[in-house]
């Protein structure tokens, strides 16, 4: 890891027209620019909050979202504010932290600056923590037409689509069963944790909530399809957890199709590679993610849609540039295909990089990153979850669900949000009433 230069860029005069640098004071401290306010970016800020460095975080959104619970916003279990935190909250405890809501266009490694829509920002050290986005594997048609679930706007759009479909289904005559079927059916592509949790939540809605909201509709005709290209549910987890999850999904009436792919989606029909056709106005893509790679990296730095880094998270062929979290690709003997794109990896990488930055300032030996796998889990509706713990221990059922709730609750940022989420969970558990079944994107001119 390179030593920081003696003269920090924060002492250099500002360029006229670079709005991004306004109100960021000149200082003798090194300037660390962090791109991205996800799990990795936030953890790095925490690690450096008491150090003599100037931190500038750039993100095109002004908030952090707890992505593992995004599906609960999409299925009306939680509100957006329950799992989102304004990034400027970190200003309250750190006078050397600055946040700018901007869009990064590219980096200029030779000049050690970041180009944004608000101008150019110099750095002494750049940390790319831009996360990941939905991977449609080059299928532009599906990318345009399918729903996705990676950011808060996706969750709100999906929630609106689900509720609007049932509202519109009421407008058709009983003889128009094809149209009613299209509006009621849901197709989820990808049986990883996101797809499984989403399928379970929608199945719970079908069983306990929607029949009360729409007594005129026959919900025995609503079909929830979960399509997976692999030969089992939850491919990233153990076989035991996959089998249990499949059993739980069956309890909710979810139709699981394994070893199949959705090839196209036209005229409200999903076409599978085995010739199967499923009518639906709601196709949700949860089949994978790809790194949000920034333009301007030198040749050799990008591999398999991610940024290639060494054991210290240094970007290949770059100086003073690092990548952590989902966007990084860290290959080792233990992980020849790279580390999984999971929040625990991002957090641990940020912790290690933060420690190394402190060690760097004190001329101490740097510590290579080593991922500690603390397990993985997925929930399938209430009282049911699967957990893969360390030492190859797997369990599920109510105890697994309780562990899942505990881990997620205490991972949410802020006491207030923990209380909000917990109170919503308790209310939903005893009443089956999800009070966020709102359509909020209607234009007033349409009313």
pLDDT at 281: 97
Q: Which fold has domain 140-287?
A: FAD/NAD(P)-binding domain (3.50.50)
pLDDT at 12: 59
- How confident is the prediction along the chain (447 residues), in pLDDT tens digits per residue? 555 555 576 665 556 568 999 999 988 999 999 999 999 999 999 999 989 999 999 999 999 999 999 999 999 999 999 999 999 987 777 889 999 999 999 999 999 999 999 999 999 999 999 999 999 999 999 999 999 999 999 999 999 999 999 999 999 998 899 999 999 999 999 999 999 999 999 999 999 999 999 999 999 999 999 999 999 999 999 999 999 999 999 999 999 999 999 999 999 999 999 999 999 999 999 999 999 999 999 999 999 999 999 999 999 999 999 999 999 999 999 999 999 999 999 999 999 999 999 999 899 999 999 999 999 999 999 999 999 999 999 999 999 999 999 999 999 988 999 999 999 999 988 888 877 888 876 554 444
What phi and psi values does residue 405 have, to the nearest 5 degrees? -60, -45
Pairwise CA distance, residues 406 & 40, whole Å: 21
**Catalytic member of 181, 197, 204, 228:** 197
Judge if pTM exceeds 0.75. yes
CA distances from 264 to 111, 194, 226 (A): 44, 21, 15
Check if the beta carbon of residue 69 is closer than 8 Å to that of residue 408. Answer: yes
Question: Are the folds of 9-134+290-361 and 140-287 the same?
Answer: yes
Residue 365 annotated in active site: no
The CATH number assigned to the domain with range 9-134+290-361 reads: 3.50.50.60
pLDDT at 447: 42
pLDDT at 94: 82
pLDDT at 198: 97
Q: Which residues lie closer than 8 Å to 56 by C-beta, 6 or more apart? A: 24, 31, 32, 33, 34, 98, 99, 100, 121, 123
pLDDT at 92: 77
CA distances from 365 to 47, 189, 316, 350 (A): 18, 46, 20, 17
In eight-state DSSP terms, residue 381 is S
Task: List the chain domain ranges.
Answer: 9-134+290-361, 140-287
Instruction: Tell me the helices (H) and strands (E) count for the chain, helix number first.
Output: 11, 25
Pairwise CA distance, residues 199 & 256, whole Å: 10
Cα 149–154–157 angle (5° rounding)?
Answer: 130
Q: Which residues lie closer than 8 Å to 315 by C-beta, 6 or more apart? A: 128, 297, 301, 307, 308, 309, 321, 322, 323
pLDDT at 18: 81
Sequence-ordered alpha helix ranges (H) in 315-439: 343-361, 397-411, 415-431
SS3 at position 10: helix
């Amino acid at each position: 890891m390179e030593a920081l230069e003696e003269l920090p860029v924060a002492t250099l005069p500002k360029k006229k027209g670079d709005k991004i640098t306004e109100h960021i004071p000149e200082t003798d401290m090194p300037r660390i620019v962090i791109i991205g306010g996800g799990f990795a970016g936030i953890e790095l800020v925490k690690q450096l909050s008491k150090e003599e460095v100037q931190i500038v975080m750039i993100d095109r959104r002004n908030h952090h979202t707890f992505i593992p619970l995004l599906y609960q916003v999409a299925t009306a279990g939680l509100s957006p504010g329950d799992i989102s935190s304004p990034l400027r909250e970190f200003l309250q405890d750190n006078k050397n932290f600055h946040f700018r809501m901007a869009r990064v266009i590219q980096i200029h490694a030779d000049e050690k600056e970041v180009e944004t829509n608000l101008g150019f920002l110099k750095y002494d050290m750049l940390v790319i923590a831009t996360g990941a986005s939905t991977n449609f594997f080059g299928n532009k048609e599906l990318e345009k037409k399918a729903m996705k679930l990676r950011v808060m706007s996706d969750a709100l759009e999906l929630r609106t689509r689900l509720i609007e479909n049932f509202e519109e289904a009421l407008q058709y005559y009983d003889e128009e069963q094809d149209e009613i079927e299209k509006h009621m059916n849901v197709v989820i592509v990808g049986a990883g944790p996101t797809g499984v949790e989403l399928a379970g939540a929608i199945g719970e809605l079908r069983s306990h909530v929607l029949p009360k909201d729409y007594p005129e509709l026959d919900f025995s005709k609503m079909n929830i399809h979960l399509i997976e290209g692999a030969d089992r549910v939850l491919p990233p987890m153990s076989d035991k957890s996959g089998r249990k999850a499949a059993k739980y999904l069956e309890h909710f009436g979810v139709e699981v199709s394994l070893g199949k792919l959705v090839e196209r989606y036209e005229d409200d029909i999903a076409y599978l590679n085995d010739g199967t056709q499923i009518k639906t106005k709601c196709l949700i893509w949860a089949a994978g993610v790809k790194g949000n790679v920034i333009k301007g990296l030198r040749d050799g730095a990008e591999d398999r849609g991610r940024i290639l880094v060494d054991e210290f998270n240094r970007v290949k062929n770059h100086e003073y540039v690092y990548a952590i979290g989902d966007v990084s690709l860290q290959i080792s003997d233990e992980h020849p295909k790279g580390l999984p794109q999971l929040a625990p990896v991002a957090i641990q990488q940020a912790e290690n990089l933060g420690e190394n930055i402190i060690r760097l300032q004190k001329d101490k030996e740097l510590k290579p990153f080593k991922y500690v796998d603390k397990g993985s889990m997925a929930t399938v509706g209430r009282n049911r979850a699967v957990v893969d713990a360390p030492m190859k221990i797997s369990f599920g059922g109510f105890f697994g669900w309780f562990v899942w709730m505990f881990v997620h609750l205490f991972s949410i940022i802020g006491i207030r949000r923990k209380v909000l989420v917990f109170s919503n969970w308790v209310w939903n558990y005893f009443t089956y009433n999800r009070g966020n079944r709102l359509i909020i994107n209607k234009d007033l001119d349409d009313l």
